[in-house]
Structure 1
């Protein structure tokens, strides 16, 4: 086995979150979401997108466009969506045009990122930020595979991760106390309950 083969074999079980996180205060939030796909072949469902193994694939089964949808229970400040593809192994199943949409409900989904891919192999990052570079504050994210290489019909995606900003830190106790203290003569009579 060559060094290159050793490296590829070792990558199938890497802790990707440490490598892919866009910033120090970002975290992978895919486990906090419900994932759905537009279609899948038997045995190659949505669970293959989240198993942390790049040697397994989600394979669509149907007409294009193919979609991967991510639904959160609460609004998240999402920064990017990363997915793994491999043209060398998948050829016509490899996407060559994709876009990402974000929104708070189906009726307000907007396209925030579009990419054309030329025989990709590895992680593709789709930014989910607004025009000023701030994370989008959304309930839903959708990756849409518009076209495949060589006009392939079905698609393969090997892994999918979504990164969001960590929640803002809780105020220190002294700051919390100052939010609830009354001061001055006009408010002093509201300071106690009868």
Structure 2
């Protein structure tokens, strides 16, 4: 995962239209970006009470928010059922209303599981209002990265606040995956190409199964 500190500070003022906060350097092959948030399972480290949890993070109303209730770091964990192409994480923050509850530093981790996360990338905010984007694309190619898990850790709030408010989070992916199952060959257990034996062409079901994607 790679990110650019200059890019993550772009803001918008609309509570639900994250499109206006996106950078301009998006590869045309990835457009239009898709909101893939609901493909994942979401977990928060704590929440103040019923009505301040995951449901509020995924709600369209800017009046709703997740509020943590515990020691830092406060975490949001997003788990996809398989490796997924990811471009951006969008966050709606509102320093004007939330003040000391507003995150000032978040560390973003991605990986193949909760026990196989990368070293994390710190992202800092200065009194943000509106949508902020965190770029998870490859710095070299500007194309999507692939991961099964994203974890956001709030390690510091403005004014040394204890608990945190995040009003929305969205995960954005490309319009089409570059690793669609029908473009990939099942590798199976063979150690070389010569060891890989296709079933007879006459057996269509076995042929199709042999060409399914690795999960």
TM-score greater than 0.5 by the shorter chain: yes
Asked if the contact 1:21–1:28 (Cα under 8 Å) also holds between the matched residues in 2, the reply is: no
What TM-score results when the alignment is normalised by the length of structure 1? 0.76
What TM-score results when the alignment is normalised by the length of structure 2? 0.69
- C-alpha separation in 1, matches of 2:201 and 2:66: 61
Residue equivalent to 1:156: 165
Residue equivalent to 2:8: none
Pick one of 167, 174, 177 that aligns with 1:167: 177
Residue equivalent to 1:32: 39
Deviates more, 1:70-79 or 1:124-133: 124-133
Runs of 4+ in 1 over 3 A off after TM superposition: 17-23, 168-172, 190-193
Pick one of 125, 146, 153 that aligns with 1:144: 153
Cα RMSD over matched residues? 2.6
Asked if the contact 2:18–2:90 (Cα under 8 Å) also holds between the matched residues in 1, the reply is: no
Q: CA deviation at 1:25?
A: 3.7
Distance 1:90 1:128, change over 3 A: same
Aligned partner of residue 87 in structure 2, secondary structure: strand
Aligned residue pairs, count: 166
Higher strand share: 1
Pick one of 66, 72, 80 that aligns with 1:64: 72
The structure with the larger Rg is: 1
Which sections of structure 1, spanning at least 5 residues, go unmatched? 1-7, 176-189
1:110 matched to 2:118? The reply is yes
Q: How does 1:45-194 map to 2 (within 5 A)?
A: 45-111=53-119, 113-132=121-140, 133-165=142-174, 166-168=176-178
Which sections of structure 2, spanning at least 5 residues, go unmatched? 1-12, 184-199, 204-215
Higher helix share: 1
- C-alpha separation in 2, matches of 1:63 and 1:26: 35
Q: CA deviation at 1:109?
A: 0.7
